[in-house]
Amino acid sequence: MSPEIIGLVAIIGTTISGILTTLFHSRCSHIKCCCMECDRDVIHTQEDTEYEKAKKEKEAKKEFDEKFSHLNNLEINN
């Protein structure tokens, strides 16, 4: 095999590998590249799941505090 063909195969392989790595690590749900389009479900990492859980808890706490803030102003006389 000639060195030119080996070099060409290596360059094409490296390019395809780079593209696939980028797609696998991408957080996009819709990908459009050249003549191809793809809709996919994004796999969430544990960090993403924990972040979303903390965000929902913070929103729920804020809503609770807003809803029941008037109770903090009441004095209970015994």
Q: Taking the complete model, does pTM exceed 0.75, yes or no?
A: no
C-alpha 12/C-alpha 49 separation (Å) is 36
Q: What does the pLDDT look like over 1-15, one tens digit per residue?
A: 788 999 999 999 999
DSSP structural state of residue 40: -
Q: What is the mean pLDDT of residues 62-66?
A: 86
Question: Residue 23: its pLDDT value, please?
Answer: 75
Report whether pLDDT(73) > 70: no
CB 37 within 8 A of CB 30: yes
Q: Where are the beta strands (DSSP E) in the chain?
A: 30-33, 36-39
